[in-house]
Amino acid sequence: MRENRPLGRAIWAPVGAAVISGLVIGGLARLLMRGVALALDASTGLSLVGTVGILVVFVVLALPAAVTATARPAIMHAGRWVTAALTGLTAARTGVSDAKIIVLADDGQLMPITVLVVAFAAIVVAHGRLAQHLTRRFRALPQAPAEALRTPDARPV
C-alpha cells in the first residue's frame, strides 16, 4: 500500500528534477555547440545571455519527462519521447545553425563534427532519462518529521 505523500513533493520533485536536468544537459549542449564552432573554425564566443537562454530552454524542455516520471509506463515513455523530440529539434537547430558549413567542411573537420553530432544525440536521450530518474529519487526522499522543522527554543535545557 502506498503511503500518502504531500502534494508539495508531487509538485516540487518534478520541478527540481527539471531544473537540475536542464542545467546539466543545457550546459553540456552549450559546450557541444562551442565544440561545433571550434571544429568549423567559426566564431566561438559564449555570451552570457545566450548561455542563460539555452539553460532556461533546456529546463523547460525537461518538464514533460519530469512530470510523467511516476505515471503509468506508457505515459512515462511518452513524456520521455516528447522531451527527447523537443530537445533534439532544439539542439540540432541551435547547435548546428548553418548546415551549409557542415556540408562544405574539409575532410579533417568531418570526424570532430560527427563525434559532436553523436554526442548531441546522446545528451538528447539522456535529458529525459535524467529528469525522470531525478524526479523518482526526489519523490522517494524520506519526509522530515515535524519536530525537525520546528525552531528550537532559546531557553537552555
Write out pLDDT tens, residues 97-131. 666 677 777 888 888 888 888 898 899 889 999 99
21: its cell numbers: 536536468
**Residue boundaries of the structural domains of the chain:** 7-140
Does the pLDDT value for residue 156 go beyond 90? no
Mean pLDDT of the chain: 82
pTM for the predicted model, two decimal places = 0.78
Position with higher pLDDT, 50 vs 5: 50
CB neighbour class for 33 (10 Å; exposed up to 12, middle 13-18, buried from 19)? buried
